[in-house]
Structure 1
Amino acid sequence: MSKSTFDSVEMSLEANIPATELKEVKRILYGKELRKLVLPQSALVAALERDFDLHGYVFEAEPEQIRAARTVRVGLIQNKIVLPTDAPVLEQITALHKRVGEMVDVAAACGVNIVCFQEAWTMPFAFCTRERAPWTEFAESAEGGFTTRFCKELAKKYNMVVVSPILERDELHGGTLWNTAVVVSNTGNVLGKSRKNHIPRVGDFNESSYYMEGNTRHRVFNTQYGKIGVNICYGRHHPLNWLMYSMNGAEIIFNPSATVGELSEPMWPIEARNAAIANHCFTCAINRVGTEYFKNEFTSGDGKKAHHEFGHFYGSSYVAAPDGTRSPGLSRIRDGLLVAELDLNLNRQVADKWNFKMTGRYDMYADEITKAIQHDFKPNIVKE
């Protein structure tokens, strides 16, 4: 079975592990068993008709005497591109608006309060090609572009916060390009934007040909449904990046991504989950699906022959909780919507139990990091 036809680890477990062992296997892999979210029949039918997977799970906290439950529903959308990569730019964008809009309709029917799309969701992930045209034509204004106007309509229609990662063109600063997540409030207004902090320079993923590290640092958005951060793609490999969103108060950190199996799949189930544990918050990992073919060949700087595609985007989007629990992932090969109901009280409950924030030696780390980045740094090594 090829990497691009293997559906999911979860389906393989269900098919091949004896029922008597399956529950214990899942407990070890995913933490405590999550209750499945009861989704409307109309939503299930719509997902079937529109050909995408739909799953829902509940992350519960213990009842408290003083605080009421703080429940919020998040929706994670993963999808393939719709048209060939050489179709006219505006047609590609419009087709993706239509496809993702259909999925947001279903998310709304499921009671989703915050929806997040995958990295650069309005375009092929063409940064591997190192070509400028036509890919830079997909760039839009974060504040008033075609896609942001589309998201504002969705947000207002459904009283839903929309996190929309796009290729941004910053006209105020000479048309500079950024990899940016636009956060649209449930009121329909642009709440703000968060730019990608870390840019990969790994083979095909040498994205500095298009944009450089962002300058918005670790913004956290105080929405009606909770405080959220957006850690775009490669930033998930940097533990301090997650930490700083948490330090700024994030209760949920979204990680919209575009990554292929050969490069990162063994890391994928671990990193966002580790971040949820270490930072006493929920994390939502989103990855696109499919294999994207480009007309012109390109090389990866790895000695291999030129090629037209650079691997299979393996989806597998999931949600992780601060207690180490995580949802099963969506399919590796199909479009999907994952709905998760989170009780944000779990963040403080876990923090009170494990005390990672309280026991962190941040003053010591800050002092040592400050020294470590100096040109005359001397490592703290004891020798005989």
Structure 2
Amino acid sequence: MAQENDSFTTVEKSLHEHLPAEEKSEVLRILYGKPSPPLTIPQSAIDLAQERNFELASYTLKSLAATEQTRLPRLVRIGAIQNQILLPTDKPVVEQREALFKRISDIIEVAAQCGCNIVCMQEAWNMPFAFCTREKYPWSEFAESAEDGPTTVMLQELAKKYNMVVLSSILERDESDVLWNTTVVISNTGRYLGKSRKNHIPRVGDFNESTYYMEGDTGHPVFDTQFGRIGINICYGRHHPLNWLMFGVNGAEIVFNPSATVGNLSEPMWGIEARNAAIANSYYTVPINRVGTETFKNEFTSGDGKPAHNDFGHFYGSTYVASPDGTRTPGLSRTLDGLLVTEVDLNLCRQVKDKWGFRMTQRLDMYAKELAEAVKPGYKPPVIKG
């Protein structure tokens, strides 16, 4: 598909190319925290990624955690996948879906070779991001059951084959034909474990998705898997600090943020929000964004007086992992399909809680009382005039 800004691939590449050598390490420390050393992965995985034409990046953050006397390290390898759609959006629904099934299966195979324990894809990975066109057909035909739809069934086989937890973000159709933006959680045994629905629906620019699917009703579930306790904060939910907070309150150690967002709208925020959430809530965050520019046959408008258009703009990728101490990995490309493999030690979550005391000092009782008053009709803020 068409791409924008394809000469500018990553911020990190520009920093490495243009920063003076004597300043580089200090600038990178301030911007990214402690170093993210490369993680050794099999040459066969590197060769296969090159053959299949996607970026493969790998880092280890395990040294961020101290060695404990009473607990063994809890090492987990996270795989985050960003991808473009493969076929023009006017191709038949089944053809588009099957092409993406093949693409993601190929990337997951490489993730397995890299030893990934958990893999997560971007928001609505198995379809064009058509919500914002406000056309219902054929796009509603991509919607499927979270429990036993074709996407879930396909990924269950891979999860079992590779002993890997898989998180799959889909457009869900429930038994009452209500649509939801949902991430399905599949255990490493291949069993359907559950789902988490998108809590916050964007109403900004082209991304006015409230005509398409309902606001989530699953709250903030945390899935206790063999490889850690996982939460999913879908796309626009990353702009809401309380959404991140509740996954932490419920005990998450890794919170994924499968997303689909474009450069002109949100790129300056991208490196901040998930990283801040990792710091504030003492868990790892994994923001994943799709790539490419998706073009649609029929024009649509944003309701902002600007001319009608056929695309939303450039989905800029830049997937990364942030740790509880504020360290983050470099991001994947802004333009290429990619797999980011990151090794972490989940013991760091508790170590950071002990060091900074955010959980002990966050005063949930005080905020619960004030928020309970703030949502009442006629609420008057305690503003003291001078």
Shorter-chain TM-score bucket reads over 0.9
Shift of 1:34: 1.5
1:252 aligns with 2:259: no
| Code of the aligned partner of 1:294 | F
Q: Which structure 2 segments of 5+ residues have no match? A: none
1:164 aligns with 2:168: yes
Matched residue, 2:182: 180
Q: Is the 8 A contact 2:4 2:314 kept in 1?
A: no
Matched residue, 2:131: 127
Shift of 1:21: 1.7
Matched residue, 1:317: 319
Q: Is the 8 A contact 1:4 1:314 kept in 2?
A: no
| Code of the aligned partner of 1:218 | H
Matched residue, 2:79: 75
Matches within 5 A, 1:158-307: 158-171=162-175, 174-307=176-309
Name the CA distance, whole Å, in 2 between partners of 1:23 and 1:90: 49
**Aligned equivalent of 2:157, options 132, 143, 153:** 153
Matched residue, 2:43: 41
Q: Is the 8 A contact 1:289 1:313 kept in 2?
A: yes
Residues 75-131 of structure 1: per-residue CA shift (max 9 Å, x gap): 000000011100000000000000011000000000000000000000000011100
Residues 269-311 of structure 1: per-residue CA shift (max 9 Å, x gap): 0000000000000000000000000000001111110111110
Shift of 1:19: 2.2
Q: How many matched pairs?
A: 382
Name the CA distance, whole Å, in 1 between partners of 2:71 and 2:382: 46
Name the CA distance, whole Å, in 1 between partners of 2:191 and 2:7: 40
| Code of the aligned partner of 1:242 | W
Identity of aligned residues (%): 67
1:94 aligns with 2:98: yes
**Aligned equivalent of 2:362, options 357, 360, 363:** 360
Q: 1:309 to 1:2 in 2, by over 3 A?
A: closer
Q: 1:193 to 1:2 in 2, by over 3 A?
A: closer
More displaced stretch, 15-24 vs 218-227: 15-24
Shift of 1:2: 5.5
Q: Is the 8 A contact 1:194 1:218 kept in 2?
A: yes
Residues 188-215 of structure 1: per-residue CA shift (max 9 Å, x gap): 0000000000000112111111112110
Q: Is the 8 A contact 2:4 2:293 kept in 1?
A: no
| Code of the aligned partner of 1:293 | T
TM-score, scaled relative to structure 2: 0.98
SS of 1:319 mapped into structure 2:
coil
SS of 2:127 mapped into structure 1:
coil
| Code of the aligned partner of 1:346 | L
Shift of 1:376: 1.7
SS of 2:287 mapped into structure 1:
strand
Matches within 5 A, 1:328-367: 328-367=330-369
Residues 232-259 of structure 1: per-residue CA shift (max 9 Å, x gap): 0000000000000111110000000000
Q: Is the 8 A contact 1:4 1:290 kept in 2?
A: no
Name the CA distance, whole Å, in 2 between partners of 1:231 and 1:5: 31
1:84 aligns with 2:93: no
Matches within 5 A, 1:19-34: 19-34=21-36
| Code of the aligned partner of 1:97 | F
Q: 1:4 to 1:312 in 2, by over 3 A?
A: farther
| Code of the aligned partner of 1:317 | T
| Code of the aligned partner of 2:89 | T
Shift of 1:4: 4.3
Shift of 1:365: 0.4
Matched residue, 1:369: 371
Q: Is the 8 A contact 2:178 2:214 kept in 1?
A: no
Name the CA distance, whole Å, in 1 between partners of 2:113 and 2:249: 33
SS of 1:308 mapped into structure 2:
strand
SS of 1:35 mapped into structure 2:
coil
Name the CA distance, whole Å, in 1 between partners of 2:114 and 2:360: 37
Q: Is the 8 A contact 2:274 2:287 kept in 1?
A: yes
Shift of 1:18: 2.2
TM-score, scaled relative to structure 1: 0.98
